[in-house]
């Protein structure tokens, strides 16, 4: 179960609505003795970054002759960390994904592709992906 809340200056949680607070309290009553984990919310890449990425891969595709999908798979393999999981006692490779990258990490990912391919990144504002 996931509950989202913001920690206010006084150290109290703000669940955004009375309904969300009531859901959290009800869950706590139903699960006495359970532990909860609090994680800092990290902003993952935005939809505009995602769209800009595919436009950029189109530019790289035009320069290299590789399809955007091929370039996407190449970049994930080259620049994203390899992860492994043990499933039923077997170690398996987990396919890397850009979906969970933070906004900053996604920007660095784009810069690494640019450095490797030599195809410059277009200006996001001029390409219509950032406000002027």
Query: Does the global pTM surpass 0.75?
Result: no
Query: What pLDDT is attached to residue 4?
Result: 86
Q: Average pLDDT for residues 116-121, to the nearest whole number?
A: 96
Residue 123 pLDDT level (bands cut at 50, 70, 90):
confident
pLDDT at 128 over 70: no
Query: What pLDDT is attached to residue 132?
Result: 45
CA–CA distances in Å: residue 52 to residues 22, 34, 92, 105: 40, 43, 32, 15
CA–CA distances in Å: residue 95 to residues 66, 82, 92: 21, 8, 9
pLDDT at 7 over 80: yes
Separation of alpha carbons 34 and 105, rounded Å: 34
Query: What pLDDT is attached to residue 24?
Result: 94
Query: What pLDDT is attached to residue 62?
Result: 96
Q: Which residue has the higher pLDDT, 111 or 43?
A: 111
Per-residue pLDDT reduced to its tens digit, 12-43? 999 999 999 999 999 999 999 999 998 887 77
Q: Which residue has the higher pLDDT, 120 or 42?
A: 120
Three-state SS string over the chain comes to CCCCCEECCCCCEECCCHHHHHHHHHHHHHCCCCCCCCCCCCCECCHHHHHHHHHHHHHHHHHHCCCHHHHHHHHHHHHCCCEEEEECCEEEEECCCCCCCEHHHHHHHHHHHHHHHCCCCCCCCCCCCCCC
Per-residue pLDDT reduced to its tens digit, 35-80? 999 888 777 888 889 999 999 999 999 999 999 999 999 999 999 9
């Amino acid at each position: 179960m996931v509950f989202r809340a913001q920690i206010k200056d006084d150290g109290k949680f703000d669940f955004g609505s009375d309904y969300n607070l009531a859901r959290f309290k009800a869950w706590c009553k139903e699960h006495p003795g359970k532990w909860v984990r609090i994680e800092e919310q990290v902003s993952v890449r935005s939809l505009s970054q995602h769209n800009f990425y595919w436009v950029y891969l189109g530019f790289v595709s035009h320069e290299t002759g590789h399809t955007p999908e091929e370039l996407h798979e190449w970049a994930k393999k080259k620049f994203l960390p390899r992860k492994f999981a043990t499933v039923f006692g077997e170690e398996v490779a987990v396919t890397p994904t850009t979906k969970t990258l933070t906004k900053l990490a996604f920007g660095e990912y784009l810069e690494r592709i640019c450095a490797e391919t030599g195809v410059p990144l277009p200006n996001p504002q001029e390409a219509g992906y950032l406000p002027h």
